[in-house]
């Protein structure tokens, strides 16, 4: 029975230590005075939910930016191919002109 009381005291001490650590991690706001265990755990749960929502929004934004990046990359590649085609048309036109210029001399 004495051993059970010691274990019980150890568990309560461990719980107090964990609650103190939790107080340091959870923003308590203006009412940072004495909190009950229930209010601290409730605030911790709300804080975790808020962090999860922020993470979901951040992941969604990352996916959206990656899609936009792929789209812009495809546009850039398309513009690059058009430029090559325009350059090749321009060079063939200039060589045609120089051929006709030589025939007139």
Total domains, the chain: 1
Q: For residue range 38-85, what is the model confidence (pLDDT) as tens digits?
A: 989 999 999 999 999 999 999 999 999 999 999 999 999 988 888 777
Which domain covers residue 56, as residue numbers? 1-22+36-87
**Rounded to whole angstroms, how far apart are CA atoms 52 and 58?**
10
CB of 47 within 8 A of CB of 27?
A: yes
* 30: in domain: no
pTM above 0.85, yes or no: no
* 66: in domain: yes
**Rounded to whole angstroms, how far apart are CA atoms 25 and 8?**
26
Q: Between vectors from CA 54 to CA 51 and to CA 60, what angle results, nearest 5°?
A: 140
pLDDT of residue 30: 65
Which of these, 26, 55, 31, lies nearest to 43 by C-alpha position? 26
* 45: in domain: yes
Distances (CA, A) of 4 to 15, 16, 74, 84: 16, 18, 70, 83
List the structure tokens of 70.
């792929």
* 99: in domain: no
């Amino acid at each position: 029975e004495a051993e059970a009381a010691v274990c019980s005291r150890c568990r309560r001490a461990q719980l107090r230590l964990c609650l103190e650590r939790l107080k340091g991690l959870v923003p308590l706001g203006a009412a940072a005075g004495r909190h009950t265990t229930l209010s601290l755990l409730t605030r911790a749960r709300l804080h975790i939910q808020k962090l999860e929502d922020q993470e979901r929004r951040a992941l969604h934004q990352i996916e959206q930016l990656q899609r936009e990046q792929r789209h812009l990359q495809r546009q850039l590649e398309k513009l690059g191919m058009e430029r090559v085609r325009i350059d090749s048309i321009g060079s063939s036109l200039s060589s045609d002109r120089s051929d006709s210029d030589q025939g007139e001399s």
